[in-house]
Amino acid sequence: MRNRGRGWGQGLQAAVAIVAATALLVSCSGDDPDPSGNPDPSQSEGSQSQSQPPDGPQTGTVTSLACWGDSLTAGSGGDGTTYPDVLAELTGLDVFNGGVPGERSAGIAAREGGRPAETTVVGGSIPAEGGVEVKFGGDVVIIRDEGTLDGTLMDVHGVLTKDQTRVKGAYTFTRDEAGDPVEVPDGTPFITDIGEANRDAGTIIWAGHNDIRLGGGQELLDNIATMVDYVEDGGNYLVLGLSNGTGAEKGTPFYQEGVEFVNPALEEAYGPDHYLDVRRWLIDEGLDAAGIEATDQDETDIANDVPPTSLRDPSAQGHLNSEGYRVLAEYIRDFIAEHGWI
């Protein structure tokens, strides 16, 4: 396993300091990870800075991009169009789509590698061959629904599978090759292959839409800080602000925590060279960028400080539609070009 580079503590301390200076969170109740106006977990989640490229690794040598997030990154509502796919078309780069519908920031950070999921191996060891049940601490859901994830546990490479037939799912780790049994202390991290493989890519993080309903603003900031710190050698990274939709207008709990608390904290933490308020841009400039004349409903949305309906999927309040994802990708492409990534 490669050296993890900068410790995530620096980013975490910065985020905590910001939060301490921010207005009191408006708490939300309930256990549904899909808040009103937020991406639906059952489906496959400002003005552009004109500043000069900062000193450091922004050298125009980015050869690939990795986009980490929830259903908005996966492209739910886009009828097959995703912003990572459009970015690939616009830039000619290899673009990894690390979007998982319904996932919270803890699971996104675990897959990306910034905060690997801590394990408890039933029986305390990886057997000489075959699989063993693995449990994860906290509220980490590293695989949504049934699926697999390749990675290493105590330097043993294998595949993690999830069985949804059991309550809350059950994970099994199966080593690739037979060998000696390996003792696994509680808390040992599971390191994903996709996180390792994309660590040196230009990294775009759009996480947290599914955290807000459970009052997860602080945890969200912490998890994004670990993801940023995991980027190879402090390289090219971009954090996107949370977006909103119908049911998450001004005055709602999602708006108060996500738009008024989290987004300003992210902007303060990462600054104009590493933070992009995509929600603000979609509201102010998205329709013009798409060449769409505002409808009456769009005007109502804009007055409520919500991205216009003409750029969103009507069947799910928070998701964009194909045109919304396309203009978003164009906006991100322009930003990373101006900042020397490409």
* pLDDT confidence tier of residue 215, bands split at 50, 70 and 90: low
Enter the DSSP assignment of 277.
-
Distances (CA, A) of 44 to 73, 150, 174, 288: 10, 20, 26, 28
pLDDT at 3: 36
Q: How many C-beta atoms lie closer than 10 Å to residue 290's C-beta?
A: 18
- Angle at which helices 278-290 and 322-338 cross, to 10°: 110
> 183-196: buried (b, 16+ CB within 10 Å) or exposed (e) per residue?
ebeeebbbbbebbe
Length of the chain: 342
Distances (CA, A) of 207 to 72, 145, 235, 332: 9, 19, 19, 16
pTM over 0.75: yes
Q: Answer yes or no: is pLDDT of 37 > 80.
A: no
* Structural domain spans, the chain: 9-44+57-113+199-338, 117-190
Which CATH number does 9-44+57-113+199-338 carry?
Answer: 3.40.50.1110
Which residues, 6+ apart, have CB-to-CB distance to 38 below 8 Å?
A: 45, 209, 210, 212, 213, 244, 245, 248, 254, 317, 318
How much is the CA Rg of the chain, to the nearest whole Å?
A: 20
Distances (CA, A) of 281 to 5, 140, 157, 333, 340: 33, 31, 43, 14, 21
User: How far is residue 304 CA from its own chain's centroid?
Assistant: 25
Q: Answer yes or no: is pLDDT of 21 > 70.
A: no
51-106 pLDDT tens trace: 333 344 444 679 999 999 999 999 999 999 999 999 999 999 999 999 999 899 99
175-211 pLDDT tens trace: 999 999 999 999 999 999 999 999 999 999 999 999 9
The pLDDT mean for the chain works out to 84
User: Is 211:41 a contact under the CB 8 Å cutoff?
Assistant: no
d(CA 250, CA 242): 14
Output 55 or 309, whichever has higher pLDDT.
309
User: Is 240:205 a contact under the CB 8 Å cutoff?
Assistant: yes
